[in-house]
Amino acid sequence: MNDSELFELWVYLSESPLLHLTLTLLAYQVARSLHRLSGGHPLANPVAIAVGLLIAFLLFSDTDYATYFEGAQFVHFLLGPATVALAIPLYGQLSKLRAIWLPVMGAVTVGVCTAALSAIAIAKLLGGSVISQLSLAPKSATAPVAMGVSDAIGGLPSLTAVLVVTTGIIGAVTGGWICDRLGIRDTSVRGIAIGVASHGIGTARAFQISPEMGAFAGLGMALSAGMTALLVPLLVKLLGIVA
């Protein structure tokens, strides 16, 4: 195979969804192996590692995000069915949930307000633009909700998507450590807190620890999605932040 044939092959592959779908799965498998090699250490977060590998490849091969996403969208699409599937572990924890629903609703409300207010306040104090503040406000909610809210309040939905994923990684990495420092042992409390603060990526981390913690994290994520959709536009209006 000479150079021009190789180039043609590259042009063909780089335009087809097959290459980027394959690379996404490959990056995930590599990230999982590294995560396992680290003994399941929270710092070796599989999402962060895989995203890093893929970005390095896209920059190196000079591929734009839209081309990459044409292949990756098949994986992205499964977020919907996976969210629906969270009903199953939740159903398994139903009897426990019945006993604690009132404290849970209270804590989710507190958590969602804290998430939005802390992000806006910190960004504002350190000189972040209004667009960035608004894009940060719904960051603890799951991506589709956060992007919808961001759009409605004048943020940038695509920036919010990135902030949401980063928030998830930070919650997944620090969640266990924070709960240990606070002396919180209860699996349901740990799960709900990680789900409220860091949505599906925190939930993915919780499932790595135990199915029970995953179920409560999924619950925290779902409730925080609803509460973010209801409360964050209201909070932004009360604070008088306009883009």
Q: Pick out residues in 149-178 that bind other proteins (CB under 8 A).
A: 158-159, 161-171, 174-175, 178
Which two three-digit tokens encode residue 121? 């306040």
Smallest gap, in angstroms, from Cβ of residue 235 to other proteins? Answer: 14
What type of residue sits at position 174?
Answer: T
* Residues 47-76 contacting other proteins, CB under 8 A: 47-48, 50-51, 54-55, 58-59, 65, 68-69, 72-73, 75-76
Give yes or no for residue 93 binding other proteins (CB under 8 A). Answer: no
Which two three-digit tokens encode residue 88? 């199953």
Phi then psi for residue 241, to 5 deg, are -85, 120
* Residues 203-222 contacting other proteins, CB under 8 A: 203-204, 207, 211, 214, 218, 220, 222
Among 19, 46, 212, 236, binds other proteins (CB under 8 A): 46
Among 9, 43, 82, 242, binds other proteins (CB under 8 A): 82
Task: Please count the other Cβ atoms lying within 10 Å of the Cβ belonging to residue 236.
Answer: 23
Give yes or no for residue 234 binding other proteins (CB under 8 A). Answer: no
Give the whole-angstrom CA distance, residue 61 versus residue 47: 21
Smallest gap, in angstroms, from Cβ of residue 9 to other proteins? Answer: 24
Which two three-digit tokens encode residue 189? 């409390």
Return all residues near 34 (Cβ < 8 A) that are at least 6 apart: 44, 46, 49
